[in-house]
């Protein structure tokens, strides 16, 4: 949304090219080897909040989501997301269209469709729908290909973000936006980068 706004409103912005790189960050939902209800995780992580504070938080998330076309749903299950991150790593070898479709598919499955993105069956479905060959998906998910690389990168990202959590956006290697920033936050950074003479 922010990129589209920039390209439509900033003089000459239509010709600027954006390259988006998705990086792993393990959320560490717990030591469980099986999937658990997302509501249980929310209860555990938000246990120090009053019911009123929780309601306000969820209303704010819903408001932000709807502004960008996301209909957040709180149900479903989640477990170890390592395979999801590995699939995103695989998608880096594909076209930007496939990579974006895969990431969008994972986010939609988790946030809107209440699907368990730690399930290999769900991930396979998303990857194939995104344009990744089924045989390659099966080989990837049935192995540990690049698993160590993804683990190391995820750990580096956790250290680099110093507990700020996700989502986190690093633009041109130096400008950081943490949390659900709005389009104006991104616009300001895009313009600063552009007028500073850096290329996107």
pLDDT > 60? residue 96: yes
Which residue, among 191, 174, 195, has the nearest Cα to 183 in the 3D structure? 191
pLDDT > 50? residue 176: yes
Confidence category of residue 198, pLDDT binned at 50, 70, 90: very low
List the single range of 27-41, 43-57, 184-198 with lowest mean pLDDT.
Answer: 27-41
Give burial (CB, 10 Å; 0-12/13-18/19+) of 143. exposed
Strand partners, 168: 178
Distances (CA, A) of 56 to 34, 62, 63, 72, 195: 30, 10, 10, 14, 38
Distance CA 144, CA 150 (A): 10
> pLDDT tens digit string along 15-44?
999 999 999 998 876 555 689 999 998 998
Give the chain's mean pLDDT: 90
pLDDT > 80? residue 200: no
Output the pTM of the full model: 0.88
State the average pLDDT over residues 97-108: 97
Longest dimension (CA), the chain: 51
Whether the CA torsion 165, 101, 89, 14 is positive or negative: it is negative
Confidence category of residue 167, pLDDT binned at 50, 70, 90: confident
Residues 6+ apart with CB under 8 A from 104: none
For the stretch 24-43, what's the b/e string if a residue is b when 16 or more beta carbons lie within 10 angstroms of its beta carbon? bbbeebeeeeebbebeeeee
Domain 2-195: assigned CATH number: 3.40.30.10
C-beta of residue 35 within 8 angstroms of C-beta of residue 117: no
State the average pLDDT over residues 62-83: 91
């Amino acid at each position: 949304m922010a990129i589209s706004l920039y390209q439509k409103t900033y003089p000459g912005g239509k010709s600027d090219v954006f390259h988006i790189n998705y990086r792993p960050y393990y959320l560490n939902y717990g030591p469980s080897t099986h999937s658990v209800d997302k509501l249980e995780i929310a209860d555990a992580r938000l246990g120090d909040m009053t019911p009123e504070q929780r309601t306000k938080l969820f209303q704010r998330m819903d408001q932000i989501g709807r502004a960008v076309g996301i209909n957040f749903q709180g149900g479903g299950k989640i477990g170890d997301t390592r395979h999801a991150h590995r699939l995103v790593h695989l998608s880096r070898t594909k076209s930007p269209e496939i990579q974006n479709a895969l990431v969008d598919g994972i986010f939609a499955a988790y946030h809107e469709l209440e699907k368990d993105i730690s399930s290999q069956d769900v991930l396979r479905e998303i990857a194939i729908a995104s344009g990744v060959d089924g045989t390659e998906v099966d080989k990837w998910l049935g192995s540990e290909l690049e698993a160590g690389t993804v683990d190391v990168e995820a750990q580096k990202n956790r250290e680099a973000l110093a507990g700020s959590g996700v989502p986190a956006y690093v633009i041109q290697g130096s400008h950081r936006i943490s949390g659900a920033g709005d389009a104006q936050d991104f616009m300001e950074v895009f313009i600063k980068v552009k007028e500073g003479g850096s290329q996107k």
